[in-house]
Structure 1
């Protein structure tokens, strides 16, 4: 019979660490929905994808989704922006070589004309950034991202944050 370590001891911490190491890890992405004063939506063109995308990216180990979004915006667009409320979180099923993922979209609000005038890719991961009408922005996105972005745009109109599974409202 194995004796369980006592809480607060080094053995207890080692026991918890062992359990933590065995638990599933989720990939996490954090994107931000920005608009200009005309209501157009900001998209970015990654160099490593065929389609346009929302600005943001993947969280690093032990990084919160909001911190990941802030870091990615700074690195890729040189943008320091307030990250607003959560618009949606989407559980994305495993696909291709990828495990499942939690994809967050936050409200970035409306960028000022000064901010939009100076907006351009800051590193090799982006080849372009551009504002599109909401309809045209959705057309530029791949289906999985389009479903998620559609729900995020709908959340802007007053409904609360949405929980999605593969871009579809759940429950």
Structure 2
């Protein structure tokens, strides 16, 4: 297994885990159930661990695919920049979640406040996670790229030019 394969194995959990964790946290807040909130906190911590693994394998994956046709260094760089932001937010969310777990176990009065903070940070993380997932998907899936993304393929560029010429006529 190489870094590109490992990256593909681990990179989905930070996104999916954060989305699921947010839903579970909101459910726990509505039900006022600390066990449900603790489940969300554990998911957030695991998502942060997988984010670290994903960041660790990302560089090797980049080296393997950056010179492939239709990829290019710019699209990978954009993905990397957004992924770094997500990783930082997930590390913050993990710290807040660990605090929430401890406060819930001690039945501390600030536990409810921490759950609101975790929910807000998780909402931001989910937003950034969607950007990371989309930018990562665009690396190999040219069909989801927007029109502004430059292609390295001469066939695609000529097709775009032909389509643009037809639109102008």
Scaled to the shorter chain, the TM-score interval is under 0.3
Name the TM-score, length of structure 1 as normaliser.
0.23
- TM-score, normalization: structure 2? 0.23
| Higher helix residue share | 2
Indicate the structure (1 or 2) with the bigger Cα radius of gyration.
Answer: 2
Bigger share in strand: 1
